[in-house]
Amino acid sequence: MAKKKRPSSTEKRAAKKAAVLETKRKKKSSLANLVVVLLLVGGGLIFYLLQTGFEFAPKTSAVKPTVSATEVSFPVQGFNDGQARHFQFPTGNNITVRFFILKSSDGIVRAAYDACDVCWREGKGYYQDGDFMVCRNCGQRFASVKVNEIKGGCNPAPLDRQVVGDKLVIKIADILKGSRYFESTKES
């Protein structure tokens, strides 16, 4: 029976060197994989932000409402620029009802809950893109002239309102009817 030849010190050093170099190669390839994953995640995030208009939460409005015991009123001229204004109304039941008001391209001041019959559970609402309101959840686009006109589906749920003189008036009871859309997005 032949004895196994013991590796010489030179061979041992060569083996150690090869093992160390292989480890460094593995570390480099792991780092390269990490960089690729981070680039993909970053690219996906940028794509998402572009799709949602960079808005995670609706902007609050500079138009200040006047609140009485039964209604909330807004100056009509505050909506002349056609920009949607988002508002919040705390119900007192630990729920905040969100809604928006805009003057559509046909000159009518419209109001709708910042929710719909389909996507309300996601709590994302709508953002404005030109003459359209866009669902932040599914991306559906709704012409401003159809807001407060069409009900159901992913259309912004209409909120009753009335123009009285130079004021847009919304009854608090009508705002509270929208509470069901915001039950899953309770106040902190």
Residues of the chain above pLDDT 70, percent: 71
* In-domain check, residue 98: yes
pLDDT at 25: 59
Number of compact structural domains in the chain: 2
Mean pLDDT computed over 166-179: 94
70 & 38 share domain: no
Asked if 98 and 142 sit in the same domain, the reply is yes
- Name the pLDDT band for 117 (thresholds 50, 70, 90): confident
d(CA 87, CA 58): 9
Q: Do 40 and 92 have their domain in common? A: no
Does the residue 57 lie in any domain?
no
H or E element: which one contains 17?
A: helix 9-52
Of all residues in the chain, what percent carry a pLDDT higher than 90? 44
For residue range 13-22, list pLDDT tens digits in order.
777 777 666 6
Tokens at residue 68, please? 């009485």
DSSP, res 152 = S
Domain holding 178, by residue range, is 66-182
- Is the pLDDT assigned to residue 130 strictly greater than 90? yes
Is the model's pLDDT at 166 over the cut of 90?
Answer: yes
**Could you tell me which residue, 10 or 26, shows the higher pLDDT?**
10
Entry pTM: 0.66
What integer pLDDT is reported at residue 49 of this predicted model? 44
Residue 43, φ and ψ in degrees, nearest 5: -65, -40
> How far from the centroid of its chain's Cα atoms is residue 142's Cα?
16
Q: What is the pLDDT of residues 52-102, one digit of tens each?
A: 444 444 455 578 888 999 999 999 999 999 999 999 999 888 889 999 999
